[in-house]
Structure 1
């Protein structure tokens, strides 16, 4: 027998499922969050649930928000279970389920009036974001805000009727300034280097297009703390829903399965206070830069390294890729010879122990993380997770052989077929462009590096261009297995 998740059924859930110890009726909203997806519900919402279970900070509940039509389906699922989420932590020897209750509402995505009204509410003191790496309107070739993006141009031309997350936030800030209310903090929780600075650049860049004085006010009065966030959290499928029913007796339309590990390193800069998250494991620091560089290069760069060879060899799950001798060996050699040399010391952290922990986490057989998820959105992820490492190695005279191979594997993947001939479904916002460029690059590898908005100066470096062309040619001639084997043999 299973129990459908809802507030009225919490007491009926099996004893193996942890439930909130606080009264949810006593939780009030203090945070408006854009991008209610699996990562947010396995990370920020879990930390807040932990804090509420300690008995305090009950005025920091979460209200969800969004701008995409597709977000309405997730909202409907959560609404039918009173905004509750079942979070299941799993690794090889551990499985635990809990219900989190930190969310108190979820505004209808795209309901501009309701979202702006909530943004203007003085009770809302933090705006948090998990809108993906590609959601910040950044030009990959410069790493700066792109004022020419069509959505930005539209919002700048009609700031009273915003369509983007950033247009909505600015409208809320204007309302607060007009009402002489203090501004909220904008807290980015996406995997972007210097994510607080990036968020400020985008917000102020949009404001600058229609009101430079207001843009200056935002820069001077709104806090944008940088953060490093980490927890491997795959997408939810029927597989996870069925596992939850069978193993824990809970019916949840949108559960979250994740690894036990989680980390949040955050700069302590907030305009209107913050929840006492240090009580539940959040590490507050003066400068998050060393932590985020470590994570982005070793973990996110490592994900990219295993994604494309595994995808080309029709490997479905991440842990299966880690069981493949060539993929695991490629990751280890790339980590040790080309990625780790670019990661400076991190306070109170053993980098080699951290690298080994990453390998262990990738190998977790219970998560069900997919290679396709790791391959997703390379046009936004490569300029953040891989290309800066190449630039540093070129600058320092280090090896770029393995990194050039990673780029060649990405290019070959974007051809749109695996080595077995299976079609790869579109897996990038710029998929059509990537496929066309990859097909040109089969005969002319320089065509791939000619994507200036992605590769910039790195693509023009002769030593990198030569290595990339050599690896891409070898992939087409000999296949992924042979090329990986030759790389590992030196």
Structure 2
């Protein structure tokens, strides 16, 4: 939760002191959609790691739909790995919260009841392990962001030197990381003769199920080779593709939602009408009727993963870095500039040739829908928010398509401009010399490289391309280096707005 969220008790709906909760569900206005089932009969079947806004606007909504069909044993226990803020906001309102779906024509409100309880891992790691080890729990799902897997994005392997990994290997029953909790809970289930749960990753990792399986089994093998083999042989790690735009909730959002409800909701989530979830149908211990809730169950998720990463996420990142540098606060603001809208379209067009989709997939229609979604003026999705953790995102979003285009001897200037925008951004100074609050696991390293190189493209670009955790061997590719140096030079010479205009007009 942001600092503004931390102040929600003081700043939100001073004129509405009564909190949303089960006691007043029947007093909500008729237009407010509410759980269509008896919540008192719902029992937990899922533990979700990473109780953030995206999960509550996406997977929890799907499970809410599943519960409405009579699948009462699939309620969710949410876990925040570090901060207690979400638990503190939701517990006083019986873990009920509102999803506000914002479109140009208006906002629809829905109260979600799928979340039954929440745990703060750092406060009581043993309690979380016990919940995950409970035989009633058949799925452990995750939205911990790319950096939460303690891995090297270029290789997809566990980073054995990561501080949380080092800690967890020495504190097996009091872990900090998502892999540490998963392995500790699976080890306990194995010791008790219980079947493993399904690990359902819902983060933007390429081949996310296979990647998380590799990370978890590598971690487990460091504790015990037998444990690593048991997890590899018996647990299921289906791949997924998730898609819904979920901006950060503001105090103004809380006020607007609480006014619509007539009761105070301390932590609603804002989102768009579009939602998509594609899941590999491979579960170790059963699943709810996801198809009835609109989930696409497939045998191979990879084409859909790459489609989303290289079309939606890549263009989103390009708009975030270059839009921020140009002075735009939100993606919708950025899209009002026709040159930036054209840039987003170019990123998608050039990435599309690297994809191999099922014959029934209409990529042109998908790209058009993305541009419309980005331009939704009702969504205040900040460029700064999307720009977070770029070191973890670039390999999947931009570098993979660049590698494939280079293999086909195709130009990479558009993607190089996006990468250069990231480089300019992580120097932590904008075009007017003002500080940028760079949120990234490698922010300190980037700042040091920027200080040493100075604002000189020929020095800064090679320095950052040499960060193996981000670029790997691709950083030494001559054609990529040349394109990125040239793009970064234009950003320093012309500024982001002029550089984008020149690029899309060429």
Give me the TM-score of the superposition, normalised by structure 1: 0.96
Residue 250 of structure 1 deviates from its aligned partner by 3.8
Provide the alpha-carbon RMSD of the alignment. Answer: 1.5
Query: Which of 277, 289, 292 pairs up with 2:290?
Result: 277
Q: Which residue of 1 aligns with 2:49?
A: 34
1:118-197 matches, cutoff 5 A: 118-197=131-210
- Determine if the alignment matches structure 1 residue 20 to structure 2 residue 35: yes
Q: Is the 8 A contact 1:411 1:438 kept in 2?
A: no
Q: Which residue of 2 aligns with 1:349?
A: 361
Q: Which residue of 1 aligns with 2:505?
A: 489
Query: Which of 427, 432, 436 pairs up with 1:424?
Result: 436
Residue 224 of structure 1 deviates from its aligned partner by 0.5
Residue 184 of structure 1 deviates from its aligned partner by 0.9
Q: Is the 8 A contact 2:314 2:347 kept in 1?
A: no
Measured in 1, the distance between the counterparts of 2:359 and 2:114 equals: 31
Q: Which residue of 1 aligns with 2:426?
A: 414
Judge which range, 350-359 or 11-20, deviates more. Answer: 11-20
Q: Which residue of 1 aligns with 2:485?
A: 469
- What secondary structure sits across from 1:192 in the alignment? coil
Aligned residues: 486
Residue 401 of structure 1 deviates from its aligned partner by 0.7
Query: Which of 310, 313, 325 pairs up with 1:297?
Result: 310
Q: Which residue of 1 aligns with 2:118?
A: 106
Q: Which residue of 2 aligns with 1:65?
A: 79
1:245-264 matches, cutoff 5 A: 245-264=258-277
Q: Which residue of 2 aligns with 1:330?
A: 343
Q: Is the 8 A contact 1:32 1:62 kept in 2?
A: yes
Q: Is the 8 A contact 2:121 2:176 kept in 1?
A: no
Residue 117 of structure 1 deviates from its aligned partner by 1.4
Q: Deviations over 1:209-231 (max 9, x none)?
A: 12011100100000000000111
Q: Is the 8 A contact 2:326 2:495 kept in 1?
A: no
Measured in 2, the distance between the counterparts of 1:59 and 1:290 equals: 32
Query: Which of 472, 488, 495 pairs up with 1:479?
Result: 495
Measured in 1, the distance between the counterparts of 2:474 and 2:357 equals: 25
Measured in 2, the distance between the counterparts of 1:356 and 1:323 equals: 15
Measured in 2, the distance between the counterparts of 1:204 and 1:102 equals: 30
Residue 317 of structure 1 deviates from its aligned partner by 1.2
Greater than 6 Å deviation, 4+ residue runs: none
- Determine if the alignment matches structure 1 residue 117 to structure 2 residue 130: yes
Q: Deviations over 1:65-118 (max 9, x none)?
A: 2321x2x11101110100111001011113210100001111233212211211
Can you give the 5+ residue segments of structure 2 that lack an aligned partner in the other structure? 1-14
Residue 140 of structure 1 deviates from its aligned partner by 2.7
Q: Is the 8 A contact 1:442 1:473 kept in 2?
A: no
Measured in 2, the distance between the counterparts of 1:105 and 1:371 equals: 32
Judge which range, 475-484 or 122-131, deviates more. Answer: 475-484
- What secondary structure sits across from 1:21 in the alignment? coil
- Determine if the alignment matches structure 1 residue 366 to structure 2 residue 378: yes
Residue 362 of structure 1 deviates from its aligned partner by 0.5
Measured in 2, the distance between the counterparts of 1:266 and 1:199 equals: 15
Q: Is the 8 A contact 1:199 1:224 kept in 2?
A: yes
Q: Deviations over 1:34-63 (max 9, x none)?
A: 101100000111011112223x11000001
Residue 374 of structure 1 deviates from its aligned partner by 1.3
Residue 423 of structure 1 deviates from its aligned partner by 2.0
Measured in 1, the distance between the counterparts of 2:470 and 2:454 equals: 15
Residue 195 of structure 1 deviates from its aligned partner by 0.8
Q: Deviations over 1:388-411 (max 9, x none)?
A: 111111111111111111111111
- What secondary structure sits across from 2:416 in the alignment? helix
Judge which range, 223-232 or 15-24, deviates more. Answer: 15-24
Judge which range, 156-165 or 249-258, deviates more. Answer: 156-165
Measured in 2, the distance between the counterparts of 1:125 and 1:334 equals: 39
Q: Which residue of 1 aligns with 2:6?
A: none
Residue 438 of structure 1 deviates from its aligned partner by 3.2
Q: Is the 8 A contact 2:311 2:347 kept in 1?
A: no
Measured in 2, the distance between the counterparts of 1:107 and 1:487 equals: 49
- What secondary structure sits across from 1:442 in the alignment? coil
- What secondary structure sits across from 1:438 in the alignment? helix
Can you give the 5+ residue segments of structure 1 that lack an aligned partner in the other structure? none
